[in-house]
Amino acid sequence: MVAEADSGQHKDVTEESPLLTVFRKEAHETMLNRINLASAFKLSPQELRVEIENFVFDFAQERRAQITKREQIAIARELVDDMIGLGPLEPLLEDEGISDIVVNGPSQVYVEKKGLMQLAAARFRDDSHLLQIAQRIAHRVGRRVDTSSPLCDARLPDGSRVNIVVPPIALDGASISIRKFSKKAITLHGLAVHGSLTEEMVRVLQIASTCGLNIIVSGGTGSGKTTLLNALSQLIDPRERIVTCEDAAELKLQQPHVVRLESRPPNIEGKGEITIRDLVKNALRMRPDRIVIGEVRGVECIDMLQAMNTGHDGSMSTVHANKAREAFIRLENMVAMSGFDLPSEIVRAQIAGAVNLIVQTERLHDGTRKITEIVEVTGITERGDIGYQHLFKFVPLGEDADHKVFGKFDAGTDRPAFLEKAIIYGLDKELLDIMRKAKGTVEREENDYYF
């Protein structure tokens, strides 16, 4: 959602004086002519920053430019960011209040704050400046982006996900989309504090992880699937060996025994591609206790299901779907994409045997994110469909004075199907107590609300 101009969309945009614009351009051109780049890159970032600041101060005196010391320091920082960083994007990357950055050509940069998009003040000098920054991002992870390879998925050193599209595919100049990775470790308890789920739901997910349930995180674009997957992965026993498979490595697992695998696009000759399916197949040969797939979106689905069905309990992945029920349909369709001519009842039986929980996350229209469903697979119905029941479901009740959605989390049952597994780990009594309490609380709340 993009906010209207009168509601603050352009609040970050400030007009710059023509004098400052000219000085910045002259300082940049003069620095490139005077500085010894080979020597400069041998300096530490802090040493380089000091050298550039001194240059800008001297240049301002030389030009007798009427600009403030603060403006001189800001220009020096911009020059350093251009040399060793990501140019105008650096201040946006450092702002922890920003969750997404999207660049639509050199003169239009949007950021997402608190769930709403707004136009930022950041600008690139021209198309070539933007393309240079885009190529720097790609080169850092051993990838390339140019006219012959105009699409690129990459990541930043902090794990933030980046998608780059350049001409001729992008008609109005290079486009960069960055999904920022939070510097703070996000836990399920932290999400509960922000109202994304309840503490009862947190404990049920903890028990599910301890019992080795295979979990699929489902949601739409920007709904927080990867954030939730990271939070869920923290529940894995540190003694277990985990292998992760991702397109662009962004999972930050805290366990000591983790092997991270990343796919690779083909080279300029069209060779050397390593797909997610290749990674999943190889992961099975690495003696993992659990396999965590960043996102399953195609033919690798069949390999993931086989892994979940062959002793790798507690494995996790994400899938694009707007509802938990649609996640089952997506999984079934992706198995069909794999080329195996399997009857639908066999595919559904394999999904039902592999997947234990679907955790649905959703970005609501007010910009907040919530876990809207926790669905438990119960097996195959008499009609041959995948049977499931809701453990929890978010029910919206309206908006408050700040236009924030409020609601309640309904418990759908007081007896989960994975109770038998919980018995093995001595967690059955606690699981029953939690679900019965949640179910009873929901019933009283409903009576109060409706009567």
CATH number for the domain harbouring residue 228 = 3.40.50.300
pLDDT in tens, 49-94: 787 888 888 788 887 777 777 877 777 887 778 777 888 999 999 8
Closest by alpha carbon to 431, among 205, 229, 217? 205
Within a domain: residue 171? yes
Number of domains observed in the structure of the chain: 3
In terms of domains, do 380 and 240 share one?
yes
Confidence label for 258 from pLDDT (cuts 50, 70 and 90): very high
Confirm if 369 and 394 have CB atoms less than 8 A apart: no
In terms of domains, do 68 and 217 share one?
no
Strand locations in 105-249, DSSP E? Answer: 109-113, 116-119, 151-155, 161-165, 175-179, 215-219, 242-246
In terms of domains, do 212 and 74 share one?
no
Neighbours of 17 (CB within 10 A): 11
Phi-psi category of 272—alpha, beta or left, where left has phi over 0 and alpha has psi -120 to 50?
left
Confidence label for 5 from pLDDT (cuts 50, 70 and 90): very low
Q: At what angle do helices 18-34 and 69-84 cross, to 10 degrees?
A: 50
Confirm if 60 and 67 have CB atoms less than 8 A apart: yes
Q: Which amino acid makes up residue 24?
A: R
Vertex 47 angle, CA 44 and 49, to 5°: 105
In terms of domains, do 50 and 129 share one?
no
Beta-strand pair 386-399/405-411: antiparallel
**Alpha carbon distances (Å) from 356 to 33, 86, 313:** 63, 42, 10
Give me the DSSP letters along 64-126: T----HHHHHHHHHHHHHHHHS-GGGHHHHH-TTEEEEEEESTT-EEEEETTEEEE-S---SS
Within a domain: residue 2? no
The yes-or-no verdict on residue 138 having pLDDT over 50 is yes
In terms of domains, do 255 and 404 share one?
yes
The yes-or-no verdict on residue 218 having pLDDT over 50 is yes
Which pLDDT value is given to residue 141? 80
Q: What is the extent of the structural domain holding 122?
A: 89-184
Task: Give the lowest-confidence range in 4-13, 26-35, 72-81, 118-127.
Answer: 4-13
Closest by alpha carbon to 437, among 212, 232, 199? 199
- Residue 331 CA to residue 167 CA, distance in Å, equals 34
Within a domain: residue 5? no
Closest by alpha carbon to 144, among 277, 37, 272, 279? 272
- Residue 401, exposed/middle/buried by CB under 10 A (0-12, 13-18, 19+)? exposed
In terms of domains, do 374 and 298 share one?
yes
Quick check: helix, strand or coil at residue 147? coil
Confirm if 204 and 210 have CB atoms less than 8 A apart: no
Within a domain: residue 4? no
In terms of domains, do 392 and 337 share one?
yes
- Residue 200 CA to residue 435 CA, distance in Å, equals 8
Residue with tokens 């690129």: 152
End position of a domain, from candidates 24, 52, 84: 84
In terms of domains, do 79 and 18 share one?
yes
> Edge-to-edge, what's the strand order for the sheet holding 98-104?
116-119, 109-113, 98-104, 175-179, 161-165, 151-155
- Residue 28 CA to residue 22 CA, distance in Å, equals 10
CATH of residue 156: 3.30.450.370
- Residue 245, exposed/middle/buried by CB under 10 A (0-12, 13-18, 19+)? buried
Neighbours of 289 (CB within 10 A): 18
The yes-or-no verdict on residue 442 having pLDDT over 60 is no
pLDDT average, residue stretch 208-223: 93
What's the pTM?
Answer: 0.76
Which pLDDT value is given to residue 311? 79
Computed over every residue of the chain, the mean pLDDT equals: 85
Which pLDDT value is given to residue 15? 54
Which pLDDT value is given to residue 359? 97
Within a domain: residue 3? no
Q: Which helix (H) or strand (E) holds 305?
A: helix 300-308
End position of a domain, from candidates 84, 103, 125: 84
Within a domain: residue 446? yes
In terms of domains, do 39 and 71 share one?
yes
In terms of domains, do 152 and 240 share one?
no
Which pLDDT value is given to residue 444? 44
End position of a domain, from candidates 168, 184, 200: 184
Confirm if 133 and 173 have CB atoms less than 8 A apart: no
pLDDT higher at 443 or 98: 98
Neighbours of 366 (CB within 10 A): 16
Confidence label for 36 from pLDDT (cuts 50, 70 and 90): low
In terms of domains, do 127 and 197 share one?
no
Look up residue 222 and give its DSSP letter: T
In terms of domains, do 349 and 375 share one?
yes
The yes-or-no verdict on residue 134 having pLDDT over 90 is yes
Closest by alpha carbon to 409, among 113, 132, 204, 103? 204
Confidence label for 41 from pLDDT (cuts 50, 70 and 90): low
Within a domain: residue 1? no
Confidence label for 253 from pLDDT (cuts 50, 70 and 90): confident
